[in-house]
Structure 1
Amino acid sequence: MNVQIMVTINGSNKVDLVKVLSEKTHALDGKWLNSKISHIDDYFAGLIKIEISPEHVEELINEFKALGINVEAAELDLVSQQHTTHLNLNIDAKDRPGLVSEISQVLSENSIKIENMECHRLGAADIGAVFTSQFKIAVSDNFNKEQLINSLQEIASDLFIDLRDQS
């Protein structure tokens, strides 16, 4: 019986890296179930969920490490997932120190799981630096949308909040 592993990779970006990683996985009869790879400047980071036979796990990880990238892997428990709703949360505001910390604190206090987060700092001539962010979040069935919005608005009066279902 195959196992599922979550592989975390990062390092300097190389041409055809994704192609090489997928070829090495396929050569050992593994399958990519899900992946997320991002680049900032010439640096990349990624998560790859792979199904593979247990006897090939160590060989695959060693093949990945031989490419000169940082690699970590963990075997996943095959646990049934609880029902969650997936939402998009966009927040824009005048930038200031600690904003990401305060937003993540509110999300944590509301038992919200952050699935993906992208934050950017943009220069605006008239008002200075602007913080813009996009979160993909997972919420439980008893989630209270109004409570979350009210809690976020307590952070600062200039937050623009957009919360909607993922489409």
Structure 2
Amino acid sequence: MSQHLVLSFIGDDKPGLVERLSATVVEHQGNWLESKMSHLANKFAGILVVSVPLEQKDALIHALQDDEKLGLHIRVESGDVLETDNTLVSLSVVGNDRPGIVREVSQVLHSLMVNVTSLSTDCEPAPMSSEMLFKTDMELSVPSDVSLEALELALEKISSDLMVEWPKD
């Protein structure tokens, strides 16, 4: 029997962080399942899901919380895999950058009971001007009673410059 653990972590970015983290997981018979990691403002931050045998769980958690050995501040939560009949979709939203845009988009998603399963944001200059564009790539879990057209219309109502882009097949 095994347990899923969800790790969130941050530390000063330097070579070897992923190697030390992965070695610690393997030393406790853990299996690295999925992760998202990024260099942000000279910090290395991420989230990771591992599966570990129940008899190794406590030892792994203790080893992961050794900040000095790993060079990371790690928080560990037990996780479960939930089944749902929601539709999983990917989409991008692009518009002129302004304060509050993430809040506006997330309010629309919440009003439709759409769950964000993955979110990545970026700001970059528009190709033909010096205006900054906000772009978010999202993976969403959409309830079966919400149409994708309704989701798109609700997001585009936020402002006239906001565009919803569905990935091309």
TM-score of Structure 1 vs Structure 2, range by shorter chain: 0.7 to 0.9
* 1:80 to partner: Cα distance: 4.4
**TM-score computed with the length of structure 1 as normaliser:** 0.86
Cα deviation digits, residues 120-142 of structure 1 (max 9, x gap) = 22234736222122112121222
Cross-structure match for 1:54 = 54
Distance 2:157 2:114 in 1: 17
Distance 1:145 1:151 in 2: 10
Cα deviation digits, residues 80-136 of structure 1 (max 9, x gap) = 411332212111111122111101100111111112212222234736222122112
Which structure 2 residues correspond to residues 95-114 of structure 1 after superposition, within 5 A? 95-114=97-116
* 1:164 to partner: Cα distance: 4.2
> What SS does the corresponding residue of 2:49 show, helix, strand or coil?
strand
Distance 2:20 2:61 in 1: 13
Cross-structure match for 2:166 = 163
Cα deviation digits, residues 26-80 of structure 1 (max 9, x gap) = 1111111222222224212222211112332232223223223111111123x54
> What SS does the corresponding residue of 1:4 show, helix, strand or coil?
strand
1:115 is matched by which residue type in structure 2?
T
Cross-structure match for 1:23 = 23
User: In the alignment, is the contact (CA less than 8 A) between 2:65 and 2:75 conserved in 1?
Assistant: no
Cross-structure match for 1:120 = 122
Show structure 1 runs of 5+ residues with no match: none
* 1:147 to partner: Cα distance: 1.2
> What SS does the corresponding residue of 1:26 show, helix, strand or coil?
helix
Cα deviation digits, residues 137-158 of structure 1 (max 9, x gap) = 1212223112111111211011
Cross-structure match for 1:144 = 147
Cross-structure match for 1:135 = 138
Cross-structure match for 2:8 = 8
> What SS does the corresponding residue of 2:166 show, helix, strand or coil?
strand
Distance 1:42 1:70 in 2: 15
